Amino acid sequence: MRVPAYGAGTDETPVETTTRLRPIRERRRGRALAVGACVVLGIGLIGGALAGVWLAASGDGKPAEPAGYAVAKELWHNAPVDTLFPRTLTAPHAGPGPSARTWTRIVVAPDAPCAPASVAPKLLAALRPLDCRRVLRATYTDATASSVLTVGLVFTQADVTAQRALDGRRLAARLGQDVPPALPGPGTVAARFGPAQRAGWWVTAPADLPVVVTAVSGFADGRVVERPVPADQAMKKGRTDAVAQSGLGHEALGIAERLEKQLRTTALDAAKEEEQR
């Protein structure tokens, strides 16, 4: 129901009246009391804010689930493939510098169990205690068809505390040289994208979703790369190796970030739909 504005629907015109106030001499005691009142009020506001944070936790002391967290656990079989892996992905400032990136999907794999064929060994070991459920993977190519990228969404049943403990932004560094598997595509530019062709890679675990996002990039011409490089290292200034110069580190990080954002939007939309039922 629309609430009318104050005074709407009446013919009365508010009259403003002013009264000249009598000057009052400054009193030191009054000023001290005012300062004391402000201090008390400030402490009360801080206490109220902290209470709000404490109340945001669940009744058993665990942190409350972010919006869409529970729904995200089932997206691997509830969401359409074109929603999880859009046919085209764009990243306006994926780099290097202000360069924009566009990727086109060329291969989609069926959902798979959490196993060495679809998840790198150290990551798999880290996720098994979190009840690793399924892995979805797809391979994209860039606008020039000169690079290929396999991306993965690894879904778990982790609670919020366990997910945050993964420390997702530093997960790649902790895993060491744990490069995600490549997904080749027969009859596509990714036909020769195998273990020896992996060049730049990245792994991240958002704190607000029970998912790990992986990405690995390579050259579409099938050239062998002696040592894959994590995206954050490949993007450092001054590097002259082929992985850095080709921007394959930017490719891996950029597409991982774009997929994470896409998944977050999908989870929030699904949660809203569930609330409206």
| DSSP secondary structure, 120-176, as one string | -HHHHHHHGGGTEEEEEEEEEEETTSSEEEEEEEEEE---HHHHHHT-GGGHHHHH-
Cis, peptide link before residue 96, omega less than 30° from 0: yes
The span from the CA of 140 to the CA of 101, in Å, is 12
Token pair in block for residue 24? 């009052």
- Return per-residue pLDDT of the chain as tens, 277 residues: 333 332 334 333 333 223 333 333 444 444 444 444 444 334 343 343 333 333 344 455 677 889 999 999 999 999 999 999 999 998 776 656 667 789 999 999 999 999 999 999 999 999 999 999 999 999 999 999 999 999 999 999 999 999 999 998 899 999 999 999 999 999 999 999 999 999 999 999 999 999 999 999 999 999 999 999 999 999 998 888 999 989 999 999 999 999 999 999 999 999 999 888 8
Kindly report, residue by residue over 95-115, the tens digit of the pLDDT: 566 677 899 999 999 999 999
CB atoms within 10 A of CB 207: 15
Token pair in block for residue 28? 């030191």
Q: Collapsing DSSP states into helix, strand and coil, what is residue 245?
A: helix
pTM, two decimal places:
0.77
Token pair in block for residue 42? 């400030």
Kindly report, residue by residue over 29-64, the tens digit of the pLDDT: 444 444 444 443 343 433 433 333 333 444 556 778
State the chain's mean pLDDT as an integer. 81
- Of the CA atoms within 13 Å of residue 121, those in its CB half-sphere come to 3
